[in-house]
Amino acid sequence: MLEVLKLDRYRGFESYQLADLARVNLLVGKNNCGKTTILEAIELLVSGGHVSALRDSAVRRGEIDEDDILSHGVEVSHVFYGHRCEVGASFELSSSRNLRLEGELKAFDDKTVPVGEIGHGTALRPRALAGLGPRVPARLGPVRSDVEPSTKFWLSLVSVGQPPIVLPITENGTILDRFGGHTPSNRSPGKEVRFVRFDPSSMVDAWNDVLTEGREAAVVDAMRILMPDIDSIHFLPGRQGGLGGLSKILVGHQDAQQRLPIGSYGDGMLRLLAIGLALANTKDRCLLIDEIDSGLHWTVMEDMWRLVVGAAQSSNVQVFATTHSFDCVKGLGTLMRSRPDLAKHVAVQKVHRSLNQAVCVPGEDIAIAVEDDIEVR
């Protein structure tokens, strides 16, 4: 479990730290203060620098459209403080759990090499880049141009106790998604960390895992926070070509003859389903939830936190979530009042760019802050 997190020269943080991290951590702060950046830093650090963490971050932020990744790649300049894309640009992420990830842009031996001539296989190493020798052109994906882009840098990602990951960077500063396979197979981003996604198509695999392990009852129980009479959940396969093979998600009710689409009940139901699926499928990992309370009414916040904290304890999961809502914080404080035994497992981290360290509000103080109507965001 992470106890401290340090970010140096990563995205909007020149130097920043979060200390006294708990099992469940709620990140609060103004817009554009870096809450989501912290979640992304955790994903990249814990995954050991997996390239998909960079790709997924760019897609979530709208820095690139998911459909255009193969042709346009992922721009790496945004990862570095000051949006630098030049030789020597670097960042470092580290934690007290002997985790450290260093990323640096290095020169490609003062020459360019067509990316189509870099073979596919295991992780590219610096030694391999320094002397490629005979090369066989091997296109790894479609490119919307008659001219193959050329590499200008390589991004070195070095994680403690792991072989380095080396990613060729094109002249315009992007990683082409065709190099997503250039990482060791045991460095899966989902092995140690999971970023909750709320689109229905991404829930299909999670639901299949739930069915395989026989844990669907736990997900249905989670959904009863919003719908006490819910009886079942059903994922219907779609026609060929549908997103993730999904047609719709149906919800069954006790004593009801017809199952209705989950979309009929509003965005909150869909988001709670995503959270419930993630909690049911996550064990011994970090779970990252951006805007955890979005779409949920203030009256269910205490129940939501009871679900999250309970699942985190039972499954040895460390949760990092963000919010802008005082109702979300209030719900957590209310839970701390009714369950003071949970206080040691919970913390609020207030993020502010004018400081070099987040302000930690431990669980027992969250309840006091809520009772005294103290603004902790």
Euclidean distance between CA atoms 232 and 245, whole angstroms: 20
Q: Is the pLDDT of residue 144 over 50?
A: no
pLDDT band at 246 (very low <50, low <70, confident <90, very high): low
Euclidean distance between CA atoms 207 and 219, whole angstroms: 9
Cα three-residue angle 211-212-217, rounded to 5 degrees: 35
Least confident of 156-160, 301-305, 335-339: 156-160
Confidence (pLDDT) at 359: 95
Confidence (pLDDT) at 224: 93
φ/ψ bin of 127: left (φ > 0), alpha (ψ from -120 to 50), beta (otherwise): alpha
Confidence (pLDDT) at 256: 74
Q: Which residue has the higher pLDDT, 185 or 286?
A: 286
Spatial contact of 176 and 70, defined as CB atoms under 8 Å apart: yes
Euclidean distance between CA atoms 204 and 237, whole angstroms: 9
pLDDT band at 122 (very low <50, low <70, confident <90, very high): very low
Spatial contact of 153 and 174, defined as CB atoms under 8 Å apart: no
Confidence (pLDDT) at 66: 64
Confidence (pLDDT) at 200: 81
Cα three-residue angle 58-64-67, rounded to 5 degrees: 115
Spatial contact of 283 and 316, defined as CB atoms under 8 Å apart: yes
Q: Is the pLDDT of residue 106 over 90?
A: no
- Tokens representing 344? 């040691």
Mean pLDDT taken over the chain: 82
Contact residues for 13 (Cβ-Cβ < 8 A; gap 6+): 7, 34, 37, 81
Contact residues for 2 (Cβ-Cβ < 8 A; gap 6+): 21, 42, 46, 95, 96, 97, 99, 286, 318
pLDDT digits (tens, 9 = 90+) for 322-359: 999 999 999 999 999 999 999 999 999 999 988 999 99
Q: Which residue has the higher pLDDT, 50 or 100?
A: 100
pLDDT digits (tens, 9 = 90+) for 22-61: 999 999 999 889 999 999 999 999 998 888 888 888 888 8
Q: What is the mean pLDDT of residues 161-189?
A: 63
Q: What is the mean pLDDT of residues 152-165?
A: 83
Q: Is the pLDDT of residue 182 over 80?
A: no
Spatial contact of 50 and 188, defined as CB atoms under 8 Å apart: yes
